[in-house]
Amino acid sequence: MEEKKKVLTRRDFLVSAGGAVAGIALAGTGLGLLTPHAEGATVELPEYPWEQYFDKPLDVQKVQDLAVQYFGEGNGCAEGAFRALIEALGEPFSYVPSQIMNFGKAGGVGWGTLCGAINGAAAAVSLVYGRGQATTLVINELMGWYSETALPLNTTESSVANSPLCHASISNWCKATGNKASERGPRCKALTGDVAARAALYMNQIQAGTFVPAHPMSAETKACYDCHGPGGRMDDSLGTMSCGSCHDGH
Ligand code: HEC
Ligand code: HEC
């Protein structure tokens, strides 16, 4: 671990980036020496998985502020949430280009599927825990919390999506507040901050050993799921979204 960490010191970054010439080039652009975005720089990344580099609790408020900031700068909900988390996580996470998550905006370039804030935050969680169990634990909780919580937090203009889908989230917000979908900007900006911060909080709890899932599947959905879900009697559907948000019972 010590050796791998060393790869990522400032000096080594500059060496990997091409030595003194890159150093001058970086200084010339006014970019911080630790910036992962230096053009032409090659950084020797440590071997994956990287969970060991998540070694101090995330500053939840900072994650929230950064996500709001990046959304405001036009990164969109998914990239904004992802970028805030990887930058707060620091190296080596911050070396991953955040634009990999840009597609997630508005539920996948406007398709209204998975809320981009969840998608981006979940990508950062997955980057930390990889195939480990915590990826599923944290993201499952994030989806459940998002579905059941009036968002954005700390405003009267909030709504419960009853779903992790962007489409349901926006339409329920329009219904609850009387706003138009095209007016969603400030709302989605605040929500992106809330979701990124929530993911940070859960990761801190995992790290501290205090994580307790608090959003299990509802009894109603569980009844449908047990029959229709994988391995059930019908075994003809997949997913743990609230069935009632789209189907009537029978
Ligand atoms: C005890 C098992 C069982 C449970 C619990 C159950 N279903 Fe079904 N469901 C069935 C069966 C059997 C059919 C097939 C009916 C048919 O094909 O005629 C069906 C059919 C359906 C269909 C197909 C369209 C239709 O109405 O025929 C939908 C959608 C559906 N169920 C949704 C749900 C939802 C939502 C819930 C929970 C609120 C639920 N089911 C609970 C057994 C169950
Ligand atoms: C976001 C909306 C949504 C949610 C949530 C959802 N479904 Fe569906 N479901 C659909 C759609 C769309 C179809 C396809 C219907 C079609 O094309 O006719 C479908 C189809 C089905 C069918 C087959 C229907 C048929 O006619 O045979 C079953 C059974 C079913 N869903 C069960 C469930 C169960 C159980 C849940 C909860 C665990 C659930 N669904 C949650 C949207 C949803």
Indicate if 174 and 117 belong to the same structural domain. Answer: yes
- Asked if 75 and 194 sit in the same domain, the reply is yes
Cis peptide before 213 (omega within 30 of 0): no
105 and 9 in a common domain: no
- Specify whether 64 is located in the same domain as 184: yes
Between CA 177 and CA 71 the distance in angstroms is 22
250 lines ligand 1 (CB under 6 A): yes
* Local confidence band at 140 (pLDDT 50, 70, 90 cut-offs): very high
Residues 149 and 221 in one domain: no
Q: Domain range for residue 10?
A: 2-47
Check whether residue 111 and residue 23 sit in a common domain: no
Whether 96 and 13 share a structural domain: no
**What does the alpha-carbon distance between residue 65 and residue 177 come to, in Å, rounded to a whole number?**
25
Task: Give the residue, by CA position, lying nearest to ligand 1 atom 39.
Answer: 224
**Domains held by the chain: number:** 3
Nearest to 154 by CA among 121, 188, 179, 190: 190
**82 and 37 in one domain?**
no
CB-CB contact of 38 with 22 (8 Å): yes
Are residues 24 and 107 both part of a single domain? no
| Residue 220 Cα to ligand 2 middle (Å) | 15
Asked if residue 196 and residue 149 are part of one domain, the reply reads: yes
Q: How many helices, marked H, and strands, marked E, lie in the chain?
A: 10, 0
Atom 26 of ligand 1, residue of closest alpha carbon? 250
Tokens of 119: 């998608």
> N- to C-terminal Cα distance for the chain?
56
Closest residue (by CA) to atom 10 of ligand 2?
Answer: 246
Residue identifier of the C-alpha nearest atom 11 of ligand 2: 246
| Greater pLDDT, 246 or 42 | 246
Question: Which ligand has an atom closest to residue 220 CA?
Answer: 1
pLDDT digits (tens, 9 = 90+) for 70-124: 999 999 999 999 999 999 999 999 999 999 999 999 999 999 999 999 999 999 9
